[in-house]
């Protein structure tokens, strides 16, 4: 029983560190470090750097352009990525629809879609939730009715993250209502966002940002060969994808990075900002969080170890999602608490690389702390709310 790396894993770690040091674009790094929102082109440029290195499709099998890494290698990579504060890979293409296509798609679909996903040539978004189907996702009503060699899609998807940037959307659509269980009759279908009848409308979230959207479908004609796998089996495919999503949204390494930033902030408080170093009640909150996060790190390692001997991430990924998002939100709270009054200015426009930080109201990262806090209340809601995760654990782990 040990958590040591092999010599090869150590070499790999150094290789990854060197990569982030040399290849991570400096202007993107500055934006990340100063909490300036990234543009679509920033994400794409960064993901293409990863692609050139052969490190974009981390979880994919080698035959589709994946890395073929072991779970330990993936763990090392995620850690180094967090330590470098590099942007996380936008999950919709590489993390979500890609695996569904190479697992359930036919040969033609694999060749048509996978290369562009791997190279970040095409931006994807996710069409799952609907205005009437949140936690009860299987109650979704957006229809895909067969008409010759096409589906006609009608309905509305919502909470579509970065849909305003997307070229394609993967959807769970109802292809049959004549079913015994509502989980049946749902199909996994890919839709080109440029198809006539697709409209994207922004939803402004609590902190004032535009991250999510409503996507409306009005008589949208989609070729039948955009159906992935079997008609009516989409629920099963979508569920597999959600389990992958849940492990990745635990964000352990990134929370560790943020925790260290918070500790640095307290240690290096300058004259302009009062020090929290002597505030023991605050230090106790940080320590309690650090312990909880350390526990989650080992829970993740235990899950990875199980996966590396051939077990798929199962319901235990729900545990990672719950605790991971709780910890992220706790960090958000503590950053805002630490910022005090400086968390209150609402001046989102002041953040750009060109603007001089000394001209800002307050301190960049301090004013952003409140926006982050408000925005990230989403973490315990998306990916299947934490209450839904508890239902899953109760049913599949506890057998209730």
Partner 1 sequence: MDFSITEEQSALKDVISRFIDNEYDFERRMKIADGETAFNHEVWNFFVEQGFTAILFSEEDGGLDGGAVEMMLIMKEIGRGLMLEPFLENIVLAGGVLKRLGTTKQKEQWLGEIINGEIQATVAFTEPQSRFNLNDISTTAKKQNNQFIINGKKSFVPNGADADLIIMPARTSGSQSDTHGITLFGVSKESDGLSFNTYKTVDGHSATEITITNVKITADCVIGNIDEGYDCLEETIDEATLAICAEAIGIMRSLHDKTVEYSKNRVQFGIPIGGFQALQHRMVDNLMACEQSESLLLWAVMTDAKNTKNLKKAISGLKYQIGTAGKHVGQEAVQLHGGMGISWELDIAHLFKRLSALEILFGNADFHLQRFIDLSDS
Tell me whether residue 215 or residue 296 sits nearer to partner 1 (CB atom): 296
Q: What is the DSSP letter of 193?
A: T
Distance in Å, CB of 392 to partner 1, minimum: 9
Helix (H) or strand (E) holding 329: helix 316-339
Closest CB to partner 1 among 299 and 376? 299
Q: What is the binding site for partner 1 (CB under 8 A)? A: 1-5, 72, 267, 277, 280, 283-284, 287-288, 290-292, 294-299, 301-302, 304-305, 316, 319, 322-323, 387, 390-391, 393-394, 397-400
Of 75 and 170, the one with the shorter C-beta distance to partner 1 is 75
CA of 289: how far to CAs of 252, 276, 283, in Å?
12, 16, 10
In angstroms, the CA 240 to CA 286 distance is 35
Q: How far is the CB of 284 from partner 1 (least distance, A)?
A: 6
CB atoms < 10 A from the CB of 235, how many?
Answer: 19
Residues annotated catalytic, as ranges: 245
Which residues fall within 8 angstroms of residue 10, CB to CB, at 6 or more apart? none
Whole-number Å distance between alpha carbons of 352 and 339 = 21
If phi > 0 it is left, if psi is from -120 to 50 it is alpha, else beta; for residue 40 that is: alpha
Picking from 5, 102, 3, 104, the residue whose alpha carbon sits closest to that of residue 62 is 102
Distance of alpha carbon 159 from alpha carbon 139, whole angstroms: 16
Q: Which contiguous run of DSSP H or E holds residue 100?
A: helix 98-104
Give me 67's structure tokens: 């890395």
- Beta-bridged to residue 199, according to DSSP, are 216
Burial class (CB in 10 A: 0-12, 13-18, 19+), 337: middle
68: CB partners within 8 A, 6+ apart: 61, 62
CB 284 within 8 A of CB 214: no
Q: Which helix (H) or strand (E) holds 218?
A: strand 210-223
Q: Indicate the residue among 44 and 319 with the shorter CB distance to partner 1.
A: 319
Please calculate the CA angle 116-215-134 and round it to the nearest 5 degrees. Answer: 105
Q: Which is nearer to partner 1, 21 or 294 (by Cβ)? A: 294
Q: Which is nearer to partner 1, 206 or 291 (CB)?
A: 291
Indicate the burial class of 147 (C-beta count within 10 angstroms; 0-12, 13-18, 19 or more).
exposed
Minimum CB separation from partner 1 for residue 383, in Å?
17
């Amino acid at each position: 029983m040990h958590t040591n790396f092999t010599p090869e894993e150590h070499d790999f770690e150094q290789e990854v560190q060197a990569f982030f040091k040399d290849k991570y674009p400096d202007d993107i790094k500055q934006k990340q470090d100063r909490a300036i929102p990234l543009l679509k082109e920033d994400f794409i440029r960064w993901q293409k750097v990863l692609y050139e290195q052969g490190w974009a499709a981390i979880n994919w099998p080698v035959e589709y352009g994946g890395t073929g890494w072991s779970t330990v290698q993936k763990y090392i990579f995620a850690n180094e990525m967090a330590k470098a504060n590099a942007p996380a890979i936008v999950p919709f293409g590489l993390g979500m629809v890609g695996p569904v296509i190479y697992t359930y798609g036919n040969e033609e679909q694999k060749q048509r879609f996978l290369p562009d996903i791997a190279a970040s040539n095409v931006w994807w978004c996710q069409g799952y939730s609907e205005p009437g189907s949140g936690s009860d996702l299987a109650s979704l009503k957006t229809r895909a009715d067969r008409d010759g060699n096409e589906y006609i899609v009608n309905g509305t998807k919502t909470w579509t993250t970065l849909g305003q940037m997307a070229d394609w959307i993967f959807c769970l659509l109802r292809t049959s209502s004549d079913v015994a269980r509502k989980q049946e009759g749902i199909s996994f279908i890919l839709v080109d966002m440029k198809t006539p009848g697709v409209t994207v409308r922004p939803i402004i979230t609590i902190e004032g940002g535009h991250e999510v959207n409503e996507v409306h479908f009005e008589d949208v004609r989609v070729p039948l060969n955009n159906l992935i796998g079997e008609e009516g089996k989409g629920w099963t495919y979508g569920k597999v994808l959600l389990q992958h999503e849940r492990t990745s949204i635990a964000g352990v390494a990134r929370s560790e990075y943020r925790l260290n930033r918070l500790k640095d902030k307290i240690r290096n408080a300058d004259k302009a900002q009062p020090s929290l170093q002597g505030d023991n009640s605050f230090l106790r909150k940080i320590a309690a969080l650090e312990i909880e996060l350390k526990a989650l790190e080992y829970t993740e390692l235990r899950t990875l170890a199980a996966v590396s001997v051939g077990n798929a991430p199962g319901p235990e990924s729900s545990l990672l999602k719950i605790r991971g998002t709780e910890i992220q939100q706790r960090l958000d709270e503590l950053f805002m608490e630490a910022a005090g009054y400086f968390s209150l200015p609402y001046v989102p426009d002041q953040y750009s690389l060109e603007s001089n930080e000394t001209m800002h109201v307050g301190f960049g990262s301090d004013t952003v702390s409140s926006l982050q806090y408000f925005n990230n209340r989403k973490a315990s809601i998306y990916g299947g709310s934490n209450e839904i995760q508890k239902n899953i654990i109760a049913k599949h782990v506890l057998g209730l």
